[in-house]
């Protein structure tokens, strides 16, 4: 009876230890999540600027430039993914580059520039998330 109880206790502790270990291994690489968080931050700042009607051309250009810089890390953050994901990442970079080149000076232009970027993000998240 005592031996059976110790075996069950040992198995329970082993299972719990395995679960903790697997979670630690899974969270070992924070880079993919960090890239997405940084991009969401910059898009959020731009959307907040539109909501507050404070769309300064210099700040818009700066935030879009940072968003573009962060988007270049997508393929590095997700190594070994299928070609479709890589194509979506490239399409997103193209959309952000177009927004940077549009140089939105007011809120209406910024909203128009962000629309294709948001649609591309949404499309990718629906396919690959």
How do the domains of the chain map onto residue ranges? 30-128
User: Model-level pTM?
Assistant: 0.76
Segment 81-98 mean pLDDT? 93
Helix, coil or strand: residue 30: coil
Encode pLDDT of 47-74 as tens digits. 999 999 998 889 999 999 999 999 999 9
Q: Report whether 50 contacts 104 (CB < 8 A).
A: no
Assigned CATH for 30-128: 1.20.120.10
Condensed to tens digits (0 to 9), the pLDDT of residues 10-48 reads 999 999 999 988 888 777 788 998 999 999 999 999 999
In whole angstroms, what is the distance from residue 97 CA to residue 64 CA? 8
Q: What's the CA gap between 21 and 15, in Å, rounded?
A: 10
pLDDT at 87: 93
């Amino acid at each position: 009876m005592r031996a059976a109880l110790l075996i069950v206790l040992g198995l329970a502790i082993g299972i719990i230890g395995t679960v903790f270990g697997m979670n630690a291994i899974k969270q070992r690489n924070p880079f993919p999540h960090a890239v997405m968080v940084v991009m969401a931050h910059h898009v959020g700042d731009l959307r907040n600027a539109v909501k507050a009607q404070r769309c300064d051309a210099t700040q818009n250009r700066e935030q879009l430039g940072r968003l573009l810089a962060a988007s270049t890390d997508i393929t590095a953050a997700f190594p070994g993914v299928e070609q479709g994901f890589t194509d979506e990442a490239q399409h997103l970079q193209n959309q952000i580059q177009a927004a940077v080149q549009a140089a939105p000076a007011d809120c209406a232009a910024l909203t128009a520039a962000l629309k294709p970027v948001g649609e591309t993000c949404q499309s990718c998240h629906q396919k690959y998330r």
